[in-house]
Amino acid sequence: METLKMYLITVFVLLGTGLTVNSEIHSLTYIYTGFSKPVGLPGIHEFTAMGQLDGRMIDYYDSDDQKKVPKQDWMKERLPADYWDKGTQSRQSKQQWFNVNINILKNRMNQTDHDRHVLQWMHGCEGETRPDGTLKFVRGVDMYNYDGRDFLSFDDAHSVWVAAADIAVQTKRKWDEVQVLKEYTKGYLENECIDWLSKFMLYGKKQLEAACMYDRK
């Protein structure tokens, strides 16, 4: 139960990290959470993934339904069926990746199957609105958390992985050696993520404007 408490605290921390809605800065963030075994509590799944635009959920996936679904009407209306089909396949692959890597971390730390462990991954970007309406990249986030503690993050400015704990040094060294991974991560944060953020802002423009007006009251 102690690990579960840390998980719940960590989720709240992640959800509140740099996801502020205002007229100039916008964000697109994806948060993945995987447990080493089922939790057995309502509403908490062995694996979940969610997308957020300016802190509001836009899509969702969990290990029980195993289907990526829209959480905003405009997402459902503007994105074709194959977007959701491909998204579902991607989430299913990530669910398997989480299962494999939780076991790797458990073995590395000599942990048993008796306790429940949790791995989280958050990645996304923030963009600033220019006068012409386009977005300028501000910062990217790609970070991992294990059992409620920071584990590994990507330094976008220097294109290196940063170990937040001694146990993460082995992973850092391994990932730093994969040049294509670093290039992909940097490219995704600075370009692809910003492109999707721009599209989603356009698709959900009316709702975002209404949310901004509400937040200013």
In the chain, domain spans: 2-216
CATH code: domain 2-216 is: 3.30.500.10
pLDDT at site 113: 84
What are the residues whose beta carbons fall under 8 Å from the beta carbon of 112, sequence distance 6 or more? 106
Give pLDDT, residue 114.
86
Question: 33 Cβ partners below 8 Å, 6+ apart?
Answer: 7, 11, 47, 48, 49, 118, 119, 120
121-153, pLDDT tens digit by residue? 999 999 999 888 889 999 999 999 999 999 999
Query: How many Å is the maximal CA-CA distance in the chain?
Result: 56
Residues of the chain with confidence (pLDDT) below 70? 1-23, 208-217
